[in-house]
């Protein structure tokens, strides 16, 4: 079989390496614009070899966006996200979200492009909204505590914060430039202390 | 002719209304994914009627992204962007950029999705870089004046600022919710004064 032939000399894939290549392709061409046929060509294995690892393209998408979402929700479970003053918990969530974004850059990039065309995408959007709500609740609580300014609507604050954080996918590249920790510091300092020196 | 037939009873288009519909379609389906054929169907006029207004799809793209870019560059020409301390000029540019984004939402949305596949797109990206450089220079000058914190790299500050501003296209809808002025206040306050109350 020709397809088996092209496989010779190529490394085998486990689910992890297969997923990494699929996500790269989805990010380059769009999820809708990428067929399992193209993925199999890119991998140099047959479609049935892909189906040995994963039952469908949707399942690849689900695994990928859950990788991003599980990372963000794990942040909300950390002790420093759950204990202490709301402002400090919020700042911790912001800093750690930057870290998750950098660690899982291709997965978060894919998540942020999801538009809700399929059941998997709608489930991902629902989990994103749940995360946003957790952040908005922290903003509200911090404002109620008197630790966070009250002249911006909490939902707008939350959107601007995550707008800034998520924009990092547009330009951040892990090699060269700012380290993940310095990036988390920059986001947190800009957002909580502001740029202006009084 | 059938195409002429479908035109009956429809309003005529001028370049402005044609451009608005083209940009809406480009934003929905992607510029590459939208053919002049589809645009003519959407408009209910023939392709040659479109070519009466504009010589090519590329020219529609150029007009659209220039609408966004001209708005941003006009901001940098305003007296308050050119006179006074760098920190205040930067804050003015930020506030007015939010206003341009809101006023020209579909055009800015299209601009921010441009990836450089064509000459028009590469020219747009070059102008975006030029605008970013103007902002980065203001950040540097404000830091040199002692008015802006020096613990964040100026290029990173500029990217985070415009990451926050540009993220507004993801959720802002002109009707209902926050007004453009309140949004500009929110962005400016968050960025320059920070969220934390000391």
Q: What is the DSSP string of B57-76?
A: HHHHHHHHHHHHHHHHHHHH
Residues B150 and B110 in one domain: yes
Which range of residues forms the domain containing residue B173? 61-193
State what percent of residues in chain A have pLDDT above 90: 84
- For the stretch A103-129, pLDDT in tens is 999 999 999 988 888 999 999 999 999
Between chains, do A152 and B190 touch, taking CB under 8 Å as contact? yes
Task: Tell me what the mean pLDDT of segment B166-173 comes to.
Answer: 92
Q: With contact defined as beta carbons under 8 Å apart, do B145 and B85 qualify?
A: yes
Using the predicted structure, report yes or no on whether residue B176 has a pLDDT greater than 90: no
Contact call for B149 and A197, based on CB within 8 A: yes
Half-sphere exposure of A190 (CA within 13 A, CB side): 29
Rounded to 5°, the CA angle A115-B168-B171 comes to 40
Mean pLDDT of chain A: 92
Chain B residue with minimum CA distance to A145: B197
Helix axes A86-103, A119-144, angle to 10 degrees: 150
Residues B116 and B189 both lie in one domain: yes
- Alpha helices (H) in A30-82, listed in sequence order: 36-43, 47-53, 57-77, 79-82
**CATH classification at residue B85:** 1.10.357.10
Write down the pLDDT at residue A4. Answer: 45
Specify if A21 maps to a domain: yes
Domain closes at, from B55, B81, B99: B55
Look at chain B and count its residues. Answer: 198
- Rounded to a whole number of angstroms, the distance from the CA of A15 to the nearest CA of chain B is 30
Residue A39 lies in a domain: yes
Specify whether the CB–CB gap between B67 and B101 falls below 8 A. Answer: no
Model confidence band, residue B198 (pLDDT cutoffs 50, 70, 90): confident
The DSSP letter of residue A188 is H
- Looking at the DSSP assignment, which residues form a beta bridge with residue B148? A196
Terminal-to-terminal C-alpha distance of chain A: 72
Say yes or no: A25 and A91 in one domain: no
CA distance A162 to chain B (A): 8
H helices of chain B, in order, are 2-7, 15-29, 36-43, 47-53, 57-77, 79-82, 86-103, 105-113, 119-144, 154-166, 180-193
Q: Is B198 a domain residue?
A: no
> Which of B13, B29, B55 is the endpoint of a domain?
B55
Give residue B3's pLDDT band: very low, low, confident or very high (50, 70, 90): very low
Contact B161, B135 (CB under 8 A): yes
d(CA B178, CA A31) in angstroms, rounded, equals: 33
Q: What is the number of structural domains in chain A?
A: 2
**Which residue is closest to B140 within chain A, CA to CA?**
A195
Burial of A46 (0-12, 13-18, 19+ CB in 10 A): middle
Q: Please indicate, yes or no, whether residues B49 and B66 belong to a single structural domain of this protein.
A: no
Task: State whether A44 and A68 are in the same domain.
Answer: no
The answer to whether residues B38 and B74 belong to one domain is no
Distance (Å, whole) CA B58 – CA B124: 12
Residues B68 and B161 occupy one common structural domain: yes
Average pLDDT of B2-25? 74
CA distance A70 to chain B (A): 23
**Distance between CA atoms of residues A85 and B34, nearest Å:** 50
pLDDT digits (tens, 9 = 90+) for B59-72: 999 999 999 999 99
Q: Is residue B137 included in any domain, yes or no?
A: yes
**CA dist., res. B7 & res. B43, Å (int):** 9
Element spanning A91, H or E: helix A86-103
Contacts of B183 in chain A (CB under 8 A): 156
Query: Ramachandran region of residue A152, left (φ > 0), alpha (ψ -120 to 50) or beta?
Result: beta
Query: CATH number, domain at A12?
Result: 1.10.10.60
Nearest residue of chain A to residue B142 (CA atoms): A196
- pLDDT above 70 coverage of chain A, percent: 94
Note whether A41 and A65 are same-domain residues. Answer: no
pLDDT at A177 over 90: no
Q: Are residues B74 and B120 in the same domain?
A: yes
Asked if B67 contacts B59 with a C-beta cutoff of 8 angstroms, the reply is no
Same domain assignment for residues B106 and B177: yes
Whether residues A164 and B160 touch (CB distance < 8 A) is answered with: yes
Q: Are residues B124 and B51 in the same domain?
A: no
Taking CA atoms, what residue in B is nearest to A183?
B156
List the single best residue of B195, B196, B197, B198 to mutate versus A (max A Cβ within 10 A). B195
Q: Is residue A105 part of a domain?
A: yes
On whether residue A198 sits in a domain, the answer given is no
């Amino acid at each position: 079989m020709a397809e088996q032939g092209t496989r010779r000399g190529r490394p085998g894939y486990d689910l992890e390496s297969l997923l990494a290549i699929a996500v790269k392709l989805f990010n380059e061409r769009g999820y809708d614009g990428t067929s399992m046929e193209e993925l199999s060509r890119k991998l140099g294995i047959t479609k049935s070899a892909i189906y040995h690892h994963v039952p469908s393209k949707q399942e690849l998408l689900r695994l990928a966006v859950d990788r991003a979402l599980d990372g963000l929700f794990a942040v909300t479970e950390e002790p420093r996200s759950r204990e202490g003053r709301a402002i400090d918990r919020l700042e911790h969530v912001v800093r750690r979200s930057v870290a998750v974004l950098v660690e899982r850059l291709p997965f978060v990039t894919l998540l942020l492009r999801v538009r809700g065309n399929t059941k998997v995408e709608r489930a991902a959007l629902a989990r994103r909204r749940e995360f946003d709500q957790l952040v908005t609740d922290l903003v509200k609580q911090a404002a109620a505590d008197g630790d966070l300014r009250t002249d911006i609507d909490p939902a707008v604050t939350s959107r601007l914060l995550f707008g800034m954080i998520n924009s990092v996918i547009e330009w951040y590249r892990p090699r060269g430039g700012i380290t993940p920790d310095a990036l988390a510091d920059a986001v947190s300092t800009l957002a909580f202390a502001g740029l202006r020196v009084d």
